[in-house]
Amino acid sequence: MRVVECVPNISEGRRPEVYQAIAEAAGNVPGVQVLDVDPGVETNRTVITLVGEPEAVLEGAFQLMRAAVARLDMSTHKGAHPRMGAVDVVPFVPVSGVTMEECADLARRLGDRAGRELGIPIYLYESAASRPERRNLADVRVGEYEALAKKLADPAWKPDYGPAT
């Protein structure tokens, strides 16, 4: 059996009804199991762990992103952890019968779909990075959400997917 883990981090850790609803959006996808929902009040961030077959987890991650974008307002977000948006990171991790390159491809496919359907800028990092200077997540996060508009105006920081607005 092919199994992949996905560990989205969302910019909400103080309102259980919100982060639980976002996690449920992923868990409602057939074949996706939500293993853990780990909120942090200080960081105002929740780490959600999903597992299942790659295509199911890919769909679960997209539904989670859709739910987060619909529920979270970054213009009012405050928290101690660096972040770039309502959904900060969505790493895919090979568990069984899946390679890291396949996980990077899942990240690219998710980024493409989220950019098109949700209309949000997407930056890839680590194994899915589109260029060497974007491999390190800390480099991508420089300036965080508050500096995103400035970053989007810089042609060197054109998103991998989605609008540069």
pLDDT at 148: 79
For 7, phi and psi rounded to 5 degrees? -130, 70
Q: Is 39 or 131 the better-scoring residue by pLDDT? A: 39
pLDDT tens-place string over residues 80-123: 777 778 998 999 999 999 999 999 999 999 999 999 999 999 99
pLDDT tens-place string over residues 40-59: 999 999 999 999 999 999 99
Tokens 């496919």 -> residue: 109
Of the candidates 164, 134, 13, 138, the residue with the CA atom closest to the CA atom of residue 80: 13
Whether 77 is a known active-site residue: answer: no
Catalytic residue among 81, 134, 135, 158, which?
Answer: 81
pLDDT at 146: 77
Q: Give the residue extent of every domain in the chain.
A: 3-157
pLDDT at 69: 97
- H runs (alpha helix) in the chain: 16-27, 54-71, 100-113, 137-141, 148-153
pLDDT at 141: 79
Structurally, what CATH architecture does the domain formed by 3-157 represent?
2-Layer Sandwich (3.30)
pLDDT at 83: 79
pLDDT at 38: 98
Least confident interval from 2-11, 71-80, 84-93: 71-80
